[in-house]
């Protein structure tokens, strides 16, 4: 699971909000993304990482247009699922 998603759900377990924790999650996500991007750029030829990244990008597009009825895709304000 990507670090932002797992950190977000771990963070929601606590009742209080924290700007420092929000910023830490953001910095962790940016650093992870930059590291993954660098590793993709320095490799020669296709790799498992690029195949997984392509799959995740396709899933992101599909789930944006037609979200499955799972708790992770539920709109927290309305309780519904946007289509």
**pLDDT tens-digit map of 7-39:** 777 777 777 777 888 888 888 888 988 988 888
pTM value? 0.52
Instruction: Identify the pLDDT of residue 10.
Output: 74
Q: Distance between CA atoms of 58 and 24, rounded to whole angstroms?
A: 28
Q: Distance between CA atoms of 53 and 64, rounded to whole angstroms?
A: 16
Q: Encoding tokens for residue 18?
A: 């924290």
Residue with tokens 């309780």: 79
CB burial of residue 8 (10 Å; 0-12, 13-18, 19+): middle
């Amino acid at each position: 699971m990507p670090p932002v998603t797992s950190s977000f759900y771990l963070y929601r377990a606590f009742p209080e909000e924290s700007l420092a924790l929000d910023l830490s999650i953001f910095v962790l996500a940016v650093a992870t993304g930059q590291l993954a991007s660098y590793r993709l750029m320095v490799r020669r030829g296709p790799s498992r990482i690029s195949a997984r990244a392509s799959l995740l990008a396709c899933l992101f597009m599909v789930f944006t247009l037609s979200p499955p009825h799972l708790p992770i895709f539920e709109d927290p304000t309305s309780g519904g699922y946007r289509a």
